[in-house]
Amino acid sequence: MIAFSSDRTGSPHLLLMNLDGTEVRQLTVPSGENTETESSPSFSSDGQWIYYVSWNQGKGSIRKISIHGGESVAVSGTDKNVYEPVPSPDGKFLAHAVFNDEAAASPWQVAVTSLDDGNAPGRYFNFSAFRLRVRWTLDSNLVLSIDDQSGRINLWQTNLTSGERQPVTNFTTEKIYRFDVSPDRRFYVLSRGNYFTDAVLIDRQLRP
């Protein structure tokens, strides 16, 4: 199945469909106020739940909903803006990017919270959640993220127990825009390149 966010009903909400594009159905039910939007769906390791970000009046919170629909369940209790929640393969933790306004020097961080104990405080890691994406290794002990150490943008892995960080890639040129990991965690998929900007003057006077 494929979970995605679409605004076909007005505001972005979660939809689910088969791999061949058939049986498209909306999972979440709009509140009617048209102020709530949903994004960043991610499946649990058993494929029975979808974690996502619910946006309401500029604040994002993490929720989950069964693939069969029904009522969604609140997961995070933070009042911080959160992005792209991803459950660990063992189902015990949730990693996500977060805008931590208590860390003025580097507010974009990676947070890891417990799914077993909803009252346990989240752990914030002092490395930038560059591009807002986090992924797990198969053993659920390491998180992967994009970082720009020494001006070079590469994938890095962080050990959640020791805090030790190691580079996964060693690119010296171009940027990594997005990445993902195969289900067996053996391969990485990267979107890399450079972008360029320029100023353009357009004459608005109509010409024959």
Domain CATH code at residue 10: 2.120.10.30
Q: Specify the higher pLDDT residue, 160 or 117.
A: 160
- Whether residue 135 has pLDDT greater than 80: yes
- Both tokens of 109, joined, read 């961080």
Q: How far is CA 163 from CA 99, 123, 185, in A?
A: 20, 11, 21
Q: Parallel, antiparallel, or unpaired: how do β-strands 36-43 and 25-26 relate?
A: unpaired
Judge whether 204 lies within some domain: no
Judge whether 191 lies within some domain: no
> What does the pLDDT average to over 8-13?
78
How much is the mean pLDDT over the chain? 82
Share of the chain above pLDDT 70, in %: 84
Q: How far is CA 58 from CA 19, 108, 197, in A?
A: 32, 16, 29
Judge whether 148 lies within some domain: no
Judge whether 189 lies within some domain: no
For residue 171, what are the contacts with CB-CB under 8 A and spacing of at least 6?
152, 153, 154, 192
- Whether residue 24 has pLDDT greater than 60: yes
**Residue 56: which domain range?**
2-137
Judge whether 149 lies within some domain: no
Cα–Cα distance measured from residue 191 to residue 38, given in angstroms and rounded to the nearest whole number: 24
Judge whether 80 lies within some domain: yes
Judge whether 66 lies within some domain: yes
- Both tokens of 147, joined, read 């970082």
Cα–Cα distance measured from residue 55 to residue 50, given in angstroms and rounded to the nearest whole number: 16
Residue 113 pLDDT level (bands cut at 50, 70, 90): confident
- Whether residue 129 has pLDDT greater than 60: no
- Whether residue 31 has pLDDT greater than 90: no
Query: What is the number of domains present in the chain?
Result: 1
> Lowest-pLDDT range, 76-80, 112-116, 183-187, 190-194?
76-80
pLDDT in tens, 168-202: 999 988 888 888 888 888 898 988 888 888 888 88
Judge whether 32 lies within some domain: yes
